[in-house]
Amino acid sequence: MQTADVVILGGGIVGSSIAYHLTAAGCRNVVVLERESAQGKGSTGKSMGGVRAQFSTPVIIQMSLYAIPFYASFEERLGYPCDYRPQGYLFCATNDRHMAYLRANYEKQVAMGLKNVRLVEGDEIRAMFPLLRGDDIVGGSFCSTDGFVDPTSAMNGFIAWARDHGATVRKSVTVTGLGRDAQGISTVETSAGSISTRKAVNCAGAWARSVAAMAGVDLPVEPLRRMLVPSEPFDQFPHTAPMIVDMSNGFHFRPESRGFLLAWNDPEETLGFKTDFDPAFVEKILTRAADRVPCFADLPVNPKRAWAGLYEMTPDHHPILGEAPEVPGFFLANGFSGHGVMHAPATGKILSDLILTGKTDLIDATLLDLARFAEGRLIHETAVL
Ligand SMILES: Cc1cc2nc3c(=O)[nH]c(=O)nc-3n(C[C@H](O)[C@H](O)[C@H](O)COP(=O)(O)OP(=O)(O)OC[C@H]3O[C@@H](n4cnc5c(N)ncnc54)[C@H](O)[C@@H]3O)c2cc1C
């Protein structure tokens, strides 16, 4: 039987970052299991790649404060690119309630050490982007070190570094069960045989609930479809633009390749493993796009290039990190609720710390543990895009 110090269940960006951080910390016998024939076929390959520190809860801001410099120095550290583009995130408020929310967040972010965030007046936004319809914009917030990465490149970089330093990746291998004895996790059962280990990490993304159930753990992670629409080449709006977020309805967009990538979270979407793209979404999103950016009325879109993927939602929109309360050796890195790419670096560090030393300095890990749901310690984050 194969043995491993740590087995990682799922080879998306989160599993890959944990493999990297474990290996970088000196753990040599790390095995990553991925049921697909290639990594990135889960949510990672469907992501918009946005990275930001403009959040409202301190624990998430802390995770971003680790992530952004990490992505900025990714190539230097790992020797592989992640295509970090610090073009910023610009939140545009159209009412005083949203502006007050941005101001309160700004104060928290600055207090926690975020340097490049600032509040902006409506007039400044209108001057920065005269092509936005700005008549109802009362102000906003902008952080120049927020931006985008290429999620697949980042995932590939993490895993390549980990492999270069001793980790093993086994593709087309499905986790089918988790063995337990009196000490906790004892084996990982797979479609290709058993692996003896005392430590297994659930990195199964939107499928994490079923993997947790294999260890007898009830994990409140639910799949929720999200759709993205890329445009064809379009040069009537600047390609240096940040991610621009219309807070009146949640529509947001960023430059991508020679065009733009459009996103909007349909409030009518329901939970479930739906990964088909709904063609009716194109008109819904283009209506919102043209409303905020009048020249987007001419934006060329080929619906065949649009796609759908899954967010992994938790009841409080915060990830679930750390060892499962009743199963020693079973670790969770799940439920990123739409932010798993930007929070993969911190998650890798936190999980590596918890697995190897039982503690971490990066955050107060009890805030994100699974027990918070049973104990009524949920966190509320409303800045979910
Ligand atoms: C449309 C869209 C836009 C997004 N935009 C952003 C964004 O702008 N910024 C951001 O930070 N995040 C964004 N996200 C969220 C982000 O993509 C995810 O949170 C992140 O990719 C989760 O990574 P993961 O490794 O946990 O999961 P995944 O990438 O889904 O990887 C999980 C892996 O586990 C494997 N697996 C599952 N079950 C088993 C099993 N039994 N055995 C073996 N392998 C198994 C799967 O095949 C999969 O490869 C977006 C998501 C979507 C869908």
pLDDT tens, position by position, 104-153: 999 999 999 999 999 999 999 999 999 999 999 999 999 999 999 999 99
Q: Say which residues have a Cβ less than 8 Å from residue 141's Cβ, sequence separation at least 6.
A: 54, 90, 91, 102, 103, 105, 106, 117, 118, 119, 120
pLDDT score at 384: 44
The answer to whether the CB of 335 falls within 8 A of the CB of 318 is yes
Q: Hey, whose CA ends up nearest to atom 41 of ligand 1?
A: 175
d(CA 295, ligand 1 centre) in Å? 33
DSSP 305: G
**pLDDT bracket for residue 303 (50, 70, 90):** very high
Distances from the Cα of 324 to the Cαs of 187, 213, 347, 356, in angstroms?
16, 12, 16, 15
Average pLDDT over residues 157-177: 98
- Side chain identity, residue 343: H
Q: Which of 43, 176, 350 to mutate to test the pocket of ligand 1 (most atoms within 8 A of CB)?
A: 43
The answer to whether the CB of 230 falls within 8 A of the CB of 260 is yes
d(CA 338, ligand 1 centre) in Å? 9
d(CA 25, ligand 1 centre) in Å? 24
pLDDT score at 385: 44
Q: Hey, whose CA ends up nearest to atom 4 of ligand 1?
A: 47
* Residues making up the chain, counted from first to last: 385
d(CA 64, ligand 1 centre) in Å? 18
Pairing of strands 330-334, 200-202: parallel
d(CA 284, ligand 1 centre) in Å? 25
Binding pocket residue ranges, ligand 1, CB within 6 Å? 9-15, 33-36, 41-44, 46-50, 174-175, 203-207, 211, 226, 228, 309-312, 336, 338-342
d(CA 175, ligand 1 centre) in Å? 16
Q: Which of 47, 83, 84, 339 to mutate to test the pocket of ligand 1 (most atoms within 8 A of CB)?
A: 47
pLDDT tens readout for residues 5-24? 999 999 999 999 999 999 99
pLDDT tens readout for residues 308-339? 999 999 999 999 999 999 999 999 999 999 99
**pLDDT bracket for residue 380 (50, 70, 90):** confident
Pairing of strands 117-121, 139-143: antiparallel
pLDDT tens readout for residues 62-106? 999 999 999 999 999 999 999 999 999 999 999 999 999 999 999
What DSSP element (H or E) covers 153?
A: helix 151-164
The radius of gyration computed from the CA coordinates of the chain, to the nearest angstrom, equals: 21
pLDDT at 382 over 90: no
Q: Say which residues have a Cβ less than 8 Å from residue 118's Cβ, sequence separation at least 6.
A: 106, 141, 142, 143
Average pLDDT over residues 368-373: 98
What angle (nearest 5°) sits at the alpha carbon of residue 81, between those of residues 16 and 76?
Answer: 95
pTM: 0.97
Determine the atom of ligand 1 nearest the C-alpha atom of 14: 25
Q: Hey, whose CA ends up nearest to atom 51 of ligand 1?
A: 47
**pLDDT bracket for residue 45 (50, 70, 90):** very high
Q: Hey, whose CA ends up nearest to atom 12 of ligand 1?
A: 339
**pLDDT bracket for residue 381 (50, 70, 90):** low
Out of 100-109, 214-223, 299-308, 373-382, pick the least confident.
373-382
d(CA 206, ligand 1 centre) in Å? 7
Pairing of strands 222-230, 307-313: antiparallel
pLDDT score at 70: 98
Average pLDDT over residues 188-201: 98
Q: Hey, whose CA ends up nearest to atom 35 of ligand 1?
A: 10
Q: Hey, whose CA ends up nearest to atom 19 of ligand 1?
A: 340
